[in-house]
């Protein structure tokens, strides 16, 4: 692949408290040609990004496991 293809690859930081779900999403993203890192909490995600709890971020969220229903 050329330089343009490498530059257009997306990087995803996925956050989930379930180790099983983190492994699933990581495998799904990597097989879909995304670069992926997973962490188990919002605090760890902010630390990974070099941010603090008072910094403003624009997360994209999804909850695929609604156990309370």
Residue 9: the pLDDT is 77
The pLDDT of 9-18, averaged and rounded, is 87
Contact 41, 17 (CB under 8 A): yes
On the 0-12 / 13-18 / 19+ scale of CB atoms within 10 A, 16 is buried
Confidence of residue 69 (pLDDT cuts 50, 70, 90): very low
Q: Residue 64 and residue 69: Cα distance in Å, rounded?
A: 12
């Amino acid at each position: 692949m050329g330089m343009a293809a490498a530059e257009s690859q997306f990087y995803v930081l996925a956050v989930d408290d379930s180790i099983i779900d983190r492994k699933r999403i990581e495998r799904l993203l990597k097989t879909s040609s995304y670069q992926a890192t997973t962490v188990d909490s919002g605090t760890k995600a902010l630390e990974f990004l070099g941010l603090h709890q008072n910094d403003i971020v624009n997360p994209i969220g999804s909850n695929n496991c609604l156990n309370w229903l």
